[in-house]
Structure 1
Amino acid sequence: MSDRRHDLAEAATDYVLEHGLLDLSLRPLAAALGTSDRMLLYHFKDKLDLVATVLNVSNARSVRGIRELRPSRDVRQAVVDLWGVVSQPEQARCQRLYVEAAALGVLGAEPFATVVGEANEEWLGALADHLVSSGMRTSDAGRAARLVEAAFMGFQLDEPLEPAMQIRRSIGDLADAVAAVWSE
């Protein structure tokens, strides 16, 4: 990726994280980035290429947040620590963008279906690697990561509607369950 394309991709990702994906229009995006829609199309094949790039940049940021997490003291704490990262404001914005893209991907719309599928594998790999570094058997980590991810997604969707204390209790319950099933 050229330096200019990389810079535009990062800035476009910031814009989309702030404004959302559903009503994305090239002219307002270009104006916010200090360029023209023609220059965006020079650096990106088309709008779908730009959107796919934004989704990949957002996912890379999310995965980096997980990969930067130090190993936890045990599997139970790993789940709690992972939630601590996932629920940070920047991560939460990336997750909301993922939900928008996933909703479109479920309908078979491209590039959403492909990008979301690839993002899932990368994300689940990062979760599984953290669980393993925190004491879980490698053979169990994929299954546990899927369960943790599914629960986290539900908690994130519930967060605006549920008291924070209820979400924290639910995270504790999930951590206890994962530890009970998969601790060595």
Structure 2
Amino acid sequence: MSRRDELAERATDHALEHGLIGLSLRPLAAAMDTSDRMLIYHFGSKDELVAAVLSTSNDRSMAIISAMPPSASVAQAVIDLWDTFTAQQVQRCQRMYVEAAALGLFGREPYVSSVRDSNLVWIAAIAGHLAASGAAEQDAPRLATLVDATFNGLMLDRPLDGDAALRQVVEDLASALAR
């Protein structure tokens, strides 16, 4: 692993714990036992560092989704994806994605480009799992987009609604997609 990759991993760990909003190079560097100059040397700019953090976080989520065995059915795939999506490791990455997406809505880079890139990979991973679980290949990307949009909406509501209510929505979505 290169020094840049090591720093990206450590910066990602920090951002997953503390968030992206308000991320400042000096406190980040201090937490990583390095200097802000060293971060700039390896990444070129704070924006490039943030892009690397977002990419690293997305890679971690994709590895977990890609490692999922096929589910017994499309309906079960939706439930299994929700269980994976809400597991601590992926959940932390998804929270950071939501922060980046919110900043991207205002046209801020590197958030716009990073979110766009991660969406393509994320939808492909979900579509791959749905197809491996019985969805028709031509329908899988469309179904993945529906699953992704629902999960992200539920994640935003999660602090407001109980997990049982959200689980029922996921089960309703699973039943609808099975039809």
Superposition TM-score, scaled by structure 1 size: 0.95
Overall identity of the aligned pairs, in %: 53
1:73 is matched by which residue type in structure 2?
A: A
For residues 165 and 50 of structure 1, the distance between their equivalents in structure 2, rounded to whole angstroms, comes to 38
For residues 37 and 91 of structure 2, the distance between their equivalents in structure 1, rounded to whole angstroms, comes to 31
1:35 is matched by which residue type in structure 2?
A: T
2:92 aligns with 93
For residues 162 and 32 of structure 2, the distance between their equivalents in structure 1, rounded to whole angstroms, comes to 37
2:51 is matched by which residue type in structure 1?
A: A
2:103 aligns with 104
1:77 is matched by which residue type in structure 2?
A: Q
Answering whether residue 142 of structure 2 is matched by residue 143 of structure 1, we say yes
Aligned to 1:172, the other structure's residue is in SS state helix
For residues 67 and 159 of structure 2, the distance between their equivalents in structure 1, rounded to whole angstroms, comes to 27
Aligned counterparts, 1:46-61, within 5 A: 46-61=45-60
1:95 positional shift:
0.6
1:108 positional shift:
1.1
Answering whether residue 150 of structure 2 is matched by residue 172 of structure 1, we say no
Q: Deviation string for 1:57-102 (max 9, x for gaps)?
A: 0111111111010000010000000001100011111111111111
* Unpaired segments ≥5 residues, structure 2: none
For residues 103 and 163 of structure 2, the distance between their equivalents in structure 1, rounded to whole angstroms, comes to 29
1:162 positional shift:
0.8
2:129 aligns with 130
1:87 is matched by which residue type in structure 2?
A: T
1:53 is matched by which residue type in structure 2?
A: A
Aligned counterparts, 1:28-107, within 5 A: 28-107=27-106
1:8 positional shift:
0.4
* Unpaired segments ≥5 residues, structure 1: none
1:103 is matched by which residue type in structure 2?
A: A
2:82 is matched by which residue type in structure 1?
A: W
Higher mean C-alpha deviation, range 154-163 or range 24-33: 154-163
Number of matched pairs: 179
Q: After TM superposition, where is structure 1 displaced by more than 3 Å over at least 4 residues in a row?
A: none
Aligned to 1:115, the other structure's residue is in SS state helix
Q: Deviation string for 1:121-145 (max 9, x for gaps)?
A: 0000000000000011100001100
1:10 aligns with 9
Superposition TM-score, scaled by structure 2 size: 0.98
For residues 169 and 75 of structure 2, the distance between their equivalents in structure 1, rounded to whole angstroms, comes to 13
Aligned to 2:139, the other structure's residue is in SS state helix
